[in-house]
Structure formats: structure tokens, C-alpha cells
């Protein structure tokens, strides 16, 4: 850290809020990454982070997960002594989180220093050699503990108590319990129905089959990044009109509350 403060080491930072990237960076993914390919490993980055399908796409057309992968690639392609990744797993599905973690981890074998800010304990377990636990009061103060081994650090965090510093982080430890599978639930009459819909955004086209949602039901849109989950939710919410078909909110006159993917959309 002393060398870093004296600017004797070069650092590269992958920012937390990747959804802001299109506001400051314009152009196609491929041309932008080629400009920062200081280490000459762009082909490897394309393979490891699955960038081939979005290589010719404009940054403004990327989903959150695609922006995250581009941001990780841009950081790793640059030449530096220290690489700092702020929440690299955000917006990524499970498979892509592991691929990104593996690519980030590969920097260590090249003698690089890597610092990661992360909430996903599974990714931390795979990615880290040491863990620092942070505690304090949000917006007021924060304290960083001394480094723990990965296993000890995760267990200390879950227990909510730092024995070496005699500091309790929370009143109750985090415990994981296996629950029996719930019985099949019977729902009330359908609240909304929709038929087939389609929406084209740039080079991407989403096709939606008909479906139904019941009152009192929790439904999940599950799938990899860039497949159209956010577009589907916007169609259901009525904030995006389909090119073909009709949004269910326009037919049923429903009042909808929509929490968007990006904070910048609030």
C-alpha cells in the first residue's frame, strides 16, 4: 500500500456501477476493448468471458450482465501491478460468475495483486486467499478487520463475531437450515394472462410465449444474462410496448409497481 500511495505501482479499477458505463463510453464492444488490449490477451478474454456474441454490439444495447463482463475484460486487458474489482459478480448468473472468478483468479499466477469487493460468499471462497471483514454503520463509518484465511473469514462473518478484535457484528449468527419441499399450492383465479409477444432491440429479438399469473403467486424469470429477462419484465409492467402482441397491463388495466434493474432508471 505504501508503494501504491507513492505511485510506484500501477493500479486498474473495475467500478461497481457498470450500468453507468453507457453514459461515459460510446461505441461497439470490440473496438473499445481493442483500445485497452495492453497485454495482448484479447482472444482469451473473448473466450473466458463469452464476448463473441456481443462483440459487434453497441455498449448502449448491452444488458447488466453483458456490461459486467465487458468491464471485467477491460480491466484485465490493461497492464498493471494491482487489479481492483468492485463487485464483479453483480448481474452475472451462476455459471458466468464462476467463469469470471476463474479469469480474475488467473492474474495471481502472473504475479499480479488482486483485491476484490464481493458479497457472494461462494465466489469469495473460490476466488480468495485471504478475507478482510468490514463492519460499521452505513453512511457513517466503516472498519476493516485484519486479514483472515478464507475459511476462518467466512465463518467469522457468518457467526457475526470477530474474536481477535472482540467485536460483535450482529446479535444473531447466520444459520443455514434445510427445509422440506413445500406442498403444491392452489392459487386463486388468474390475475393476468398474456398471449405471444415479441420485441426487437437492436440486433436482439425476444419472443414470449403465452402465460398466466395468479393472485398471491411469486413467479421467477430464470435464465442466463442477455437472454431477455429484463425486457420481459418491462413488457409485463407496461413500461415497454411489444412490437407484436399486447402487454397484459394494457388489457387488464392493472396498476403495476416496477423495481428496475438499473438504479439509474429510478
Instruction: Give the global pTM.
Output: 0.75
pLDDT tens sequence across 107-148: 999 999 999 999 999 999 999 999 999 988 888 999 999 999
pLDDT tens sequence across 32-45: 999 999 999 999 99
pLDDT tens sequence across 178-233: 777 666 667 777 788 888 899 998 888 999 998 888 887 888 888 877 788 889 98
Q: How confident is the model at residue 251 (pLDDT cuts 50, 70, 90)?
A: low
pLDDT for position 1: 66
Structural domains in the chain plus CATH codes = 2-128 (3.40.50.300), 190-265 (no CATH)
DSSP per-residue codes, the chain: -HHHHTT-S-EEEE-S-GGGHHHH--SBHHHHHHHT--SS-HHHHHHHTT-GGGTTSBGGG--HHHHHHHHHHHHHHS--SEEEEESTTTT--HHHHHHHHHHHHTTGGGT-EEEEE---HHHHHHH-SEE--EEEETTTEEEEPPPEEHHHHHHHHHHTEETTTTEES-SS-------PPPPPPPP-SEEEEE--EEEEETTEEEEE--EEEETT--------TTSSHHHHHHHHHTSS--SBS--HHHHHT-------SSGGG-
Mean pLDDT of the 92-104 span: 94
What percentage of the chain exceeds 70 in pLDDT?
94
Amino acid at each position: 500500500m505504501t508503494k501504491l500511495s507513492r505511485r510506484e505501482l500501477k493500479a486498474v479499477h473495475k467500478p461497481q456501477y457498470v450500468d453507468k458505463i453507457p453514459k461515459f463510453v460510446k461505441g461497439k464492444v470490440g473496438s473499445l476493448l481493442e483500445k485497452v488490449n495492453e497485454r495482448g490477451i484479447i482472444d482469451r478474454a473473448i473466450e473466458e468471458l463469452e464476448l463473441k456474441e456481443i462483440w459487434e454490439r453497441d455498449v448502449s444495447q448491452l444488458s447488466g450482465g453483458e456490461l459486467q463482463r465487458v468491464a471485467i475484460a477491460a480491466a484485465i486487458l490493461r497492464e498493471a501491478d494491482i487489479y481492483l474489482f468492485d463487485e464483479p459478480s453483480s448481474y452475472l448468473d451462476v455459471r458466468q460468475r464462476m467463469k469470471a472468478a476463474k479469469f480474475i483468479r488467473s492474474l495471481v499466477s502472473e504475479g499480479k495483486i488482486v483485491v476484490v469487493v464481493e458479497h457472494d460468499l461462494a465466489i469469495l471462497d473460490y476466488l480468495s486467499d485471504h478475507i478482510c471483514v468490514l463492519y460499521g454503520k452505513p453512511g457513517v463509518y466503516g472498519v476493516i478487520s485484519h486479514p483472515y484465511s478464507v475459511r476462518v473469514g467466512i465463518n467469522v462473518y457468518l457467526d457475526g463475531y470477530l474474536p481477535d478484535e472482540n467485536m460483535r457484528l450482529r446479535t444473531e449468527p447466520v444459520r443455514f437450515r434445510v427445509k422440506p419441499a413445500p406442498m403444491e399450492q392452489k392459487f386463486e383465479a388468474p390475475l393476468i394472462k398474456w398471449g405471444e409477444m415479441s420485441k426487437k432491440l437492436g440486433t436482439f429479438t425476444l419472443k414470449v410465449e403465452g402465460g398466466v399469473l395468479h393472485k398471491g403467486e411469486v413467479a421467477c424469470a430464470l435464465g442466463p444474462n442477455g437472454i431477455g429477462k429484463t425486457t420481459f419484465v418491462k413488457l409485463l409492467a407496461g413500461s415497454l410496448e411489444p412490437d407484436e402482441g399486447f402487454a397484459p397491463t394494457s388489457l387488464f388495466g392493472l396498476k403495476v409497481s416496477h423495481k428496475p434493474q438499473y438504479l439509474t432508471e429510478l
